Structure 1
Amino acid sequence: MGDIFVGACSWTDRELLSSGWYPQGHRGAEAGLRHYTTRFPLVEVDATYYALPSTRNSTLWVERSPAGFRFDVKAFSLLTGHPTRSGALPAELRQAAAVRHGRTGADHGLLDEVWRRFSGALEPLRRAERLGTVLFQFPPWLAPGPSATATLRRCRERTEGWPVAVEFRHPNWWRPEHFASTSGLLAELDFAAVAVDMVQSLPTSIPPVTPVTSARLAVVRFHGRNGAWGTGSKEDRFRHRYTPEELSSWVPAVRATADRAHEVHVLFNNCCGDVAVRAAETMDHLLGTPSAAARAAAPRVAAFPSRTAAAGQEGLWCE
């Protein structure tokens, strides 16, 4: 059975910092991460979706985390085709971006530079074997079809040598009529599929299926089951406190997934106060996974073997 890593999608969320989950004196950047790593072996970095990461921060994350800890990093919005404010770009790149109706349109030269900076900033994590995966969360308008398939193929060409996980936001990808073709395409590209738990009463609800498309990794992300998904504030969308019964229903599927993948990452994205970390603690207990401290003390192998020997595929963009 593969290793199961459980964690949350932020360790610096403002409501989490004020919730009381961190002990007194452990809410700063360094102390907070060091405390988090004693409780969980995995965290997702969501801030990189909103702004490009920096080499300095990646280096600090390595210094402040134990061997065997994993950082899953969310791809910058421009790299997944989402609307991107020009203000999210470094100042020296903003003039190269043309802003139309709130979306940033960019030529390939700018996109190449953005990808070069994004991938370069993650190198300290990869060298230290702390990089779990780069999460490409594609927008809801990326529906199955020839154009989307071409986008995914270009994405693999541009990210060769990097561990990549893909989360679709259009529900048709995992409907029964598309399930086999979606699984086959991701398997061909060696992209790890992301399974999703969310409210199931909406037209945009992603089916709660657990495909395994890469022997290296499978990912399950829990978004909460709030009916306000897609509307209202961040707190409205993600305000959901998972019950033990709701989480227990996922335990067999997570364990079955671990029988087919080297690692399974289980992440809680219901970031509202401390509910994500509390749900992660409950899931850890239900799964009986080793504590973060026990994992740190155990000998570890590399996070994932690279598909190629070429470690530095930079200057490229996933269209």
Structure 2
Amino acid sequence: MTEAPTFIGTAGWSVPSRYADRFPAEGSHLERYAQRLNAVEINTSFYRPHRRTTYERWAASVPEDFRFAVKLPRTLTHERRLVDGEDLIDRFAAEVGGLGAKLGGLLVQLPPSLPFKADAVGAFFTALRRRIDAPTACEPRHPSWFVPEAEARLAALEVARVAADPPRAAGADQPGGWGGLVYYRLHGSPQIYVSDYDDTLLATMRRRLAGHRQAGIPAWCIFDNTAAFAALGNALTVAGR
């Protein structure tokens, strides 16, 4: 069996001064970052749109095997709540198309108040996948998503459920939904967005990712504990760089 790719990175590509000596001195933050890690999650797209030319510039700044995951706009997930969003999907698709082959995935993070509704979920992800041909992961945060019906619906739509730490429900820290993709988002624990992960957790992540790779399942591991600059060091440790 051919080993599957593993993508390890952080939410955003800033290079804090505490890690500067582990990166090339020359280039933009993204260019320097991409010399040590092979993936990044663009979170700014959640808050505001970016021009297609901006995505094109980012794509041109990184090596051929580097990949971007892009977070869907909150106008789709938090304001329209997955309903009647085809015009916004069209706009987003036109923008992220600027990444070309370096678009590695889409992240759909849902508000904690949004429950699972099979019809709305089916219509939304069908529309999204029809317009953007990229692996898709969903990070739900309402308890109703962590039940067999929701898992089966995501699997049928070929949408992976994010394995998140800290978990919102029992089993939420394990991959779910479609089994053709694994996507870990590590937000920091016990203090979300802040805490540095210890060596034991990071070693566990390395073993999990190795297992997915050997099983032929593409996997992402994104560290979102960026508030105190822990994410980059954690990602470098898991990547072995």
Q: State if a TM-score over 0.5 links the two structures.
A: yes
Amino acid at match of 1:79: L
Partner of 2:95: 121
**AA paired with 2:172?**
P
Select which of 136, 155, 166 maps to 1:187: 155
Q: Distance in 2 between matches of 1:173 and 1:57?
A: 34
Query: Whole-Å Cα distance in 2 between the matches of residues 10 and 182 of structure 1?
Result: 30
Between structure 1 and structure 2, the one with the greater Rg is: 1
Q: Counterpart of 1:197?
A: 165
Identify unmatched segments of 5+ residues in structure 2. Answer: none
Match of 1:207 among 172, 186, 193: 172
CA distance in 1, matches of 2:4, 2:24: 32
Q: How far off is 1:20 after superposition?
A: 3.5
Change (3 A) 1:211 1:259: farther
Query: Distance in 1 between the 2:197 and 2:154 partners?
Result: 30
**Structure 1 residues 204, 35: closer, same or farther in 2, change over 3 A?**
same
Q: What residue number does 1:58 align with?
A: 55
Picking from 119, 123, 138, the partner of 1:154 is 123
Helix, strand or coil at the partner of 1:250: helix
- Counterparts of 2:23 and 2:182 in 1: how far apart (Å)? 35
Aligned ranges 1:129-144 → 2 under 5 Å: 129-144=101-116
CA contact (8 A) 1:222 1:269 kept: yes
How many pairs does the alignment contain?
235
In the alignment, residue 248 of structure 1 is paired with which amino acid? A
Structure 1 residues 226 and 33, CA, compared in 2 at 3 Å: closer, same or farther?
Answer: same
Normalized against structure 1, the TM-score is what?
0.66
The residue that corresponds to 1:11 in the other structure is 13
The structure 1 residue matched to 2:38, chosen from 37, 41, 46, is 41
Tell me how large the CA RMSD over aligned residues is: 2.8
Fraction of identical pairs, as percent: 23
1-structure distance, mates of 2:225, 2:170? 16
Q: What is the CA–CA distance in structure 2 between the aligned matches of 1:258 and 1:25, rounded to whole Å? A: 26
User: Per-residue deviation at 1:31?
Assistant: 1.4
Alignment partner of 1:71 out of 68, 71, 82: 68
By how many angstroms is 1:260 displaced? 4.6
TM-score scaled by structure 2?
A: 0.85
Structure with larger RCO (C-alpha < 8 A, sep 6+) = 1
The alpha-carbon deviation at position 214 of structure 1 amounts to 4.0
Which residue of the partner structure matches residue 198 of structure 2?
243
